[in-house]
Amino acid sequence: MTQETRKITELLEHALQQASVLLGNEIALARAEIAEKVSIAGRGVAMVAIGALLISPALVMILLAIAALLVDAGWKPWQANLATGGGVLVIGFLVAWFGASRFSAKHMAPRETIDEIRRDRAAVREMTR
């Protein structure tokens, strides 16, 4: 084996070792980023639950007042209650739908890690040319 051949094999071995270390680092980064996003989502869910718990009684009182106003305006009680409840149901559905869209895979993806992997892949391609 010539000196030049040995250097090439050493370079290739070193490159493979570095690629292995790089892959390990990228996996660690992805895990950390996903853990951070899960933590943020968990805190968000807890805050939404607490907010809903606090808002519910106040909302019931407001809806009762609206229904009473409609009754005073000449509506039958069942019509006032149905209109008030139906209106809030539609608004609640829209808010829940919008909130659920925040938990899509697109929003939860580890973007920083994906970008880093793309840069690393481009760098490796450039080095092997």
pLDDT in the model for residue 3: 64
pLDDT of res. 62: 95
Other CB atoms within 10 A of residue 86 CB: 10
Q: Do 30 and 113 meet the contact criterion of CB atoms below 8 Å apart?
A: yes
**Per-residue pLDDT at 63:** 94
Other beta carbons within 10 angstroms of residue 112's beta carbon come to 13
Pair 80, 71: CB distance under 8 Å: yes
Give the residue from 41, 42, 29, 44 showing the smallest Cα distance to 111: 29
pLDDT (tens, 9 = 90+) of the chain, 129 residues, equals: 566 666 778 887 887 788 888 888 888 888 888 888 888 888 888 998 999 899 889 999 999 999 999 999 999 999 999 999 999 999 999 999 888 877 766 666 777 777 877 887 777 777 666
Q: Give yes or no for a contact between 88 and 63, defined as CB atoms under 8 angstroms apart.
A: yes
Look at residue 39 in the predicted model and tell me its pLDDT. Answer: 87
Domain span at residue 74 reads 3-127
Q: Is the pTM of this model over 0.85?
A: no
Question: Rounded distance, CA 96 to CA 78, Å?
Answer: 26
| Count of the separate structural domains present in the chain | 1
56 vs 62: CA distance, rounded Å: 10
